[in-house]
RNA sequence: UGGGGAAUAGUGUAACGGCAGCACAACUGACUCUGGAUCAGUUAGUCUAGGUUCAAAUCCUAGUUCCCCAGCCA
């Protein structure tokens, strides 16, 4: 087995599932095959929780020389759409995984499932039930009491066959009958109390159109789909543990190949909502701009935000796999992102909240080009030219007229460095009638060109800047957590989860960029020095570039300020 | 009050009867032309109570707490 090392963020690590696979391989089970599958329902976009499952299933197949299928569990046409199928395929590929030609659908197996249902009817193990949904629910019993047998439970095989055939033929109204497995209404496991296998539902299916008016339930379709595909390790989330006895029952009664199901805990993350139903709600109610809104925890949202697939894979490796509910700190995801982008993202200078700096002793009308390093972490990234002139923008928060003790940026009388340019010393400020600062006046030291003082004197701060005359305008979208609470489901008294939405999750600002950024292309990522990582939006466009803030840089000054608040 | 699962620093995980380790977070300090990055360090843990054993996070017994299940959703 591969060693886990900190230097190899993509290296596989061991977990209880991989241990099981290793044991099965050692014992020669399944002829030493390893075959997994990722089985999404196409009823929404994939999110970071699915990434955990994708990395697990595809990752195990890769590590053990096996295969991983993509299978859409499309048994409920009333919720499923082709758009979701397409987005799911795109997102898995983006994450870096490939299923070759093994793209399957539960709907591929509808006819086989139907034949198997007939087989169970013939064996006396399934029956057509005329109870309404409400009646079925009433007779199911409770957690502590037994259910009651359906009055239709003992219909003859002939009658069941006849009715089931006519169900398929469309003779009965939606919801009027079901096919149920005949197991045990007294089972302490509610899933075994004669579960529904087929319901009558006239809805157009995204693949089978109107061929069917009866659809298999997930419980009836899932295990057999795995069996048909000869899946060796059927990995799913904890809530299906209770269903395992049912899947085993079906496969045993049918006498077909039995995959081994293994359950793991789904991902929870602070400040993040991972309920597909609620994400759908955010989209439908237009709380966000769509499934790919950069604040969404969907893979398409993260992609648009500027996350790299590598960072998400690294995250999935680090969180591990277990059988108990846990909540991962979103700071870990952000760490994985910064770790990756720090290595790869070219640097640039941008001012998000500009204040003008006038260099009093810089020759009027003059400009020059200075060399700037593209990526200090990667010498091969080279350097670029950045224009400098007597009127610049710096960040408003980089200047304070009356600075507190630990502030060591620009203030009256103080000297700082402009990155890759000159040392400047503040000589004063200009104010408007309301007393607001409209410009900062400075002098520069021509001897410090490039950013080093020949006399060896030091400054305590280095500021980013943009030449006013050369600046490129851009729209910058500053994102923060979509939810203001670590646990978004923790609703306030009398409220609901939507009350936890963060009102400041998006701020749009007009920024001044260094001119090299004018040619940035959609999806390109940069570090704006001292600010964070930014990515050119790949959906919206206008006459100016649009940048999404992927993440801020770690900011010890901001932390310091919080402490004193 | 039925059944099925699970409990290790603040968080996520490792240790498979033999030194409780790693990562994130937090906090110090060093270094720095990004208050970034990097480096060094600090704080902090086996749910509880018994038992077996030379030795228990690990095995046994009892308890506690948490999660899942009463869709013709998945």
- Give chain A's domains with CATH numbers: 16-105+221-333 (3.40.50.620), 110-218 (3.90.800.10), 350-464 (2.40.240.10), 473-564 (2.40.240.10)
d(CA A344, CA A554): 17
User: How many Cα atoms within 13 Å fall on the side-chain side of residue A364?
Assistant: 0
Q: In the structure, how far is the CA atom of residue A282 from the C1' atom of nucleotide B33, in angstroms?
A: 45
- The nucleotide lying nearest A217 (C-alpha to C1') is B72
Per the structure block, which two tokens stand in for A380?
Answer: 């091969």
d(CA A538, CA A337): 19
**Whole-number Å distance, CA A431 to C1' B25?**
42
Which nucleotide does the CA of A142 lie closest to, via C1'? B70
pLDDT for res A11: 62
Please give the model's pTM, rounded to 2 decimal places.
Answer: 0.96
Pairing of strands A350-351, A532-536: unpaired
Show Cβ contacts of residue A134 under 8 Å, excluding neighbours closer than 6 positions: none
Name the closest nucleotide to A372, judged by C1' and CA: B33
Closest nucleotide relative to residue A554's CA, C1' based? B36
pLDDT digits (tens, 9 = 90+) for A486-520: 999 999 888 999 999 999 999 999 999 999 999 99
- CA A49 to C1' B64, whole Å: 31
| Nucleotide nearest A417 (Cα, C1') | B33
Q: How far apart are CA A345 and CA A361, in angstroms?
A: 35
Please tell me the predicted confidence (pLDDT) of residue A8. 47
User: CA–C1' distance A247–B61 (Å)?
Assistant: 34
Provide the pLDDT for residue A266. Answer: 97
Q: What is the pLDDT of residue A338?
A: 98
Which residue is nearest nucleotide B66, judged by alpha carbon to C1' distance?
A325
Query: Residue A369: what are its φ and ψ, rounded to 5°?
Result: -115, 135
Q: Would you state the structure tokens that stand for residue A397, as one six-digit string?
A: 């928060």
Q: pLDDT for A530-564, tens place per residue?
A: 999 999 999 999 999 999 999 999 999 999 888 77
- Which protein residue's Cα is closest to nucleotide B38 at C1'? A377
Give the E-state strand segments of A14-79 in sequence order. Answer: 35-38, 67-72
What one-character DSSP code corresponds to residue A396?
A: G
Nucleotide nearest to A219 (CA to C1'): B74
CA of A238 to C1' of B68 (A): 7
8 A C-beta contact, residue A137 and residue A195? no
Q: Are strands A532-536 and A415-418 parallel, antiparallel or unpaired?
A: unpaired
What pLDDT score was predicted for residue A493?
Answer: 85
Contact between residue A424 and residue A444 where contact means Cβ atoms under 8 Å apart? yes
* Distance of A376 CA from B43 C1′ (whole Å): 33
CA of A462 to C1' of B3 (A): 65
* C-alpha–C-alpha distance, residues A445 and A449, integer Å: 8
Q: Is the dihedral of CA A171, A172, A173, A178 positive or negative?
A: negative
pLDDT beneath 50, residues of chain A: 1-9
Q: How far apart are CA A136 and CA A133, in angstroms?
A: 5
Helix, strand, or coil here: A124?
coil
- Straight-line distance from CA A33 to C1' B46, in Å? 37
Give the angle subtended at the CA of A129 by the CAs of A216 and A186, to the nearest 5°: 95
Q: Mind telling me the catalytic residues of A?
A: 41, 266, 276
pLDDT at A6: 37
Q: Is the dihedral of CA A358, A361, A364, A368 positive or negative?
A: negative
Residue nearest to nucleotide B10 (CA to C1'): A329
- Could you tell me if A2 and A215 are in contact, meaning their C-beta atoms sit under 8 angstroms apart? no
In contact, A497 and A278? CB cutoff 8 Å: yes
- Scanning every strand, the nucleotide with its C1' closest to A132's CA turns out to be B72
Sheet architecture: strand order including A532-536: A347-348, A525-528, A532-536, A546-552, A472-479, A506-513, A350-351
Q: What is the DSSP letter of A405?
A: T
- In degrees, rounded to 5, the angle at the alpha carbon of residue A332 between the alpha carbons of residues A559 and A65 is 165
Protein residue closest to B70, using CA and C1': A142
Give the CA A299 to C1' B32 distance in Å.
36
Nearest to A237 by CA among A330, A299, A325: A325
Task: Measure A476 CA to B33 C1' (Å).
Answer: 26
Q: What does the pLDDT read at residue A564? A: 77
Q: Which of A128, A122, A241 is nearest to A181 (CA)?
A: A128
* Bases of strand B lying below 7 A from some protein CB: 1-8, 10-16, 22-27, 33-38, 66-74
Closest residue (Cα, C1') to B23: A318
Q: Which residue is nearest to nucleotide B6 (CA to C1')?
A: A324
Which pLDDT belongs to residue A29?
94
Which nt is closest to the CA of A421, judged by C1'? B33
What contacts A45, CB < 8 A, 6 or more positions away?
A84, A87, A88, A91, A279, A291, A292, A296, A298, A299, A300
pLDDT at A565: 67
């Amino acid at each position: 087995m591969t060693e886990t090392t900190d230097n190899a963020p993509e290296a596989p690590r061991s977990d209880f599932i991989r241990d099981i696979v290793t044991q099965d391989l050692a014992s020669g089970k399944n002829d030493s095959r390893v075959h997994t599958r990722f089985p999404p329902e196409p009823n929404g976009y994939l999110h970071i929780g699915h990434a955990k499952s994708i990395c697990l299933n595809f990752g195990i197949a890769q590590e053990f020389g096996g295969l991983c299928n993509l299978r859409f569990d499309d048994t409920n046409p009333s919720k499923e759409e082709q758009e979701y199928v397409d987005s799911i395929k795109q997102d898995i590929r983006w994450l870096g995984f490939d299923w070759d030609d093994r793209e399957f659908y539960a709907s591929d197996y509808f006819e086989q499932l139907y034949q198997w249902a007939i087989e169970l009817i013939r064996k006396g193990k399934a029956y057509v039930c005329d109870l309404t949904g409400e009646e079925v629910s009433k007779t199911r019993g409770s957690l502590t009491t037994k259910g009651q047998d359906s009055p239709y439970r003992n219909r003859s095989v002939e009658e069941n066959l006849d009715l089931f055939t006519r169900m398929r033929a469309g003779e009965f109204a939606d919801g009027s009958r079901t096919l149920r497995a005949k197991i045990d209404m007294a089972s302490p496991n509610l899933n075994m109390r004669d579960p529904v296998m087929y319901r009558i539902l006239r809805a157009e299916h995204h693949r089978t159109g109107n061929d069917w008016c009866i659809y298999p339930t997930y419980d009836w379709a899932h295990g057999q789909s795995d069996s048909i595909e000869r899946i060796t390790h059927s990995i799913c989330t904890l809530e299906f543990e209770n269903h395992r006895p049912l899947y085993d029952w079906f496969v045993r009664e049918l006498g077909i190949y039995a995959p081994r199901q293994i359950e793991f805990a789904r991902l929870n993350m602070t400040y993040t909502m991972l309920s597909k139903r609620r994400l759908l709600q955010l989209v439908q109610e237009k709380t966000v701009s769509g499934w790919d809104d950069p604040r969404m925890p969907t893979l398409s949202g993260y992609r648009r935000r500027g996350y790299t697939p590598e960072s998400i894979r690294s995250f999935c490796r680090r969180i591990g796999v277990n059988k108990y509910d846990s909540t991962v700190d979103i700071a870990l995801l952000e760490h994985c992102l910064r770790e990756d982008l720090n290595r790869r993202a070219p640097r640039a200078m941008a001012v998000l909240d500009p204040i003008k700096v006038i260099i009093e002793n810089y020759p009027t009308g003059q400009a020059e080009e200075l060399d700037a390093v593209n990526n200090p972490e990667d010498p091969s990234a080279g350097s670029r030219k950045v224009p400098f002139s007597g009127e610049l923008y710096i960040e408003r928060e980089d200047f304070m007229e009356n600075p507190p003790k630990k502030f060591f940026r620009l203030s009256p009388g103080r000297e700082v460095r402009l990155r890759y340019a000159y040392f400047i010393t503040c000589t004063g400020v200009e104010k408007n009638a309301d007393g607001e600062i409209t410009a900062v006046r400075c002098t520069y030291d021509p001897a410090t060109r490039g950013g080093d003082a020949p006399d060896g004197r030091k400054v305590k701060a280095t500021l980013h800047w943009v030449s006013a005359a050369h600046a490129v305008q851009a729209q910058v979208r500053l994102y923060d957590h979509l939810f203001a609470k670590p646990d978004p489901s923790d609703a306030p008294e009398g409220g609901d989860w939507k009350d936890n939405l963060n009102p400041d999750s998006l701020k749009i600002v007009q920024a001044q960029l260094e001119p090299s950024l004018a040619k940035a292309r959609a999806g390109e990522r940069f570090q704006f020095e001292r600010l964070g990582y930014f990515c050119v939006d790949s959906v919206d466009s206008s006459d100016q570039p649009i940048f999404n803030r992927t993440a801020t840089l770690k900011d010890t000054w901001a932390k310091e300020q919080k402490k004193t608040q």
